[in-house]
Amino acid sequence: MERSIPMESASAFIDEKIKQLGDWRGKTLAKVREIIHAADPEIVEEWKWVKPTNPGTPVFSHNGIVCTGETYKSVVKMTFAKGAALKDPAGLFNSSLDGNVRRAIDIHEGDKLDEAALKDLIRAAVALNLKSEKKPKTQPRARRATSKLAN
Q: How far apart are CA 18 and CA 8, in angstroms?
A: 17
Element (DSSP H or E) covering residue 48: strand 44-50
Q: How far apart are CA 147 and CA 151, in angstroms?
A: 12
For residues 113 and 35, is the Cβ–Cβ distance under 8 A? yes
Q: Could you tell me the residue ranges of all domains in the chain? A: 3-131
Centroid of chain to Cα 41: 15
Fold of 3-131: Aspartate Aminotransferase, domain 1 (3.90.1150)
- Per-residue model confidence as pLDDT tens digits over 63-112: 999 999 999 999 999 999 999 999 999 999 999 898 899 999 999 999 99
- Per-residue model confidence as pLDDT tens digits over 6-33: 555 899 999 999 999 999 999 999 999 9
